[in-house]
Amino acid sequence: MTGSSSALGQERAAVARACRRLGAEGLLIGTAGNVSVRVEDRVAITATGAVLAELTDDQVTVVDLDGNVVAGRLRPTSELDLHLGVYHRYGAGAVVHTHAPMATALSCVLDELPCIHYQLLALGGSVRVAPYATFGTPELADSVLTALQGRSAALMASHGALTHAPTLDKAVEHALLLEWACGVYQRAAALGTPRVLDEHQQLAVVEAALARNYGTTHPVPPVQEGNR
C-alpha cells in the first residue's frame, strides 16, 4: 500500500465500525451485505464470508479502482463490481449494501417505493427497485446502477438495498433512513392506500429546507440591548 496507507488504515477501521453499527441496528445478518469507502484511487471493502456484525479491521480488504487487491489477506466481497460501478459512475465516497428486513420485504413486492414522506427526498425521492439478477453478476451491477440514476438509494428485487453518499457516515444514515421509510410504507399500506407527495409538494419541501437550512442546528441569536 502506498501514499495514503495511514488513511486507509483508518478507513478500514471505519468500515468495520460501520458494519458493527448496521448489525446492531438490525440491517445486517450473518455474512449478507457489504460496505465500502473510497479514498482517492483505493477502496476499503468488506471481505467475502465475514460476519459483518462482528467485523474486525483485518476483515476489510483494500483494492484499486480496477478491483486488484493491494492490501489485506482476504478476498473482497462478491459484489465488488457493483461497488466499483457506483464509484465510477456516480463519484460516491462510500457504498452500503444490506439485506435489511423491511427493505428486502418491499423489494419482493414493489417496482418502486413512492415518495410517501418528505425525508425520502434526502435519497432523491422515490426509490426504484432494480430488476432481479443473481448476486455478484454484471447483470445485477448494471441493473442497480441504472436504478440509482438521480438517486442515492435503490432497492434490489428479492435481494436487499443499496445506498451511497459522499461519506461513509452519510451512506450508513441513508441505509437507516431507507429502512425506516420502508417500515412506514409497510405500516401505511396495511391501513390503506398510502398518500404520495406530488411534484409540487416535493418542490415546496426542497425550498423550505434550503430556506431554513434544514437538518442542522442553529444557535439562538443574541438578545439585542433594545429588546431586553
Active site residues: 79
Collapsed DSSP state (helix, strand, coil) of residue 168: helix
Q: 200: which DSSP letter? A: H
Dist. CA 99–CA 111, nearest whole Å:
17
CA 175 to chain centre: 4
Half-sphere exposure for 168 (CA within 13 Å, toward CB): 21
What 3-state DSSP class applies to 75? coil
State how far the Cα of 51 lies from the Cα of 220, in Å rounded to an integer: 46
What DSSP designation does 157 have? T
Identify whether the C-beta of residue 29 lies closer than 8 Å to the C-beta of residue 99.
yes
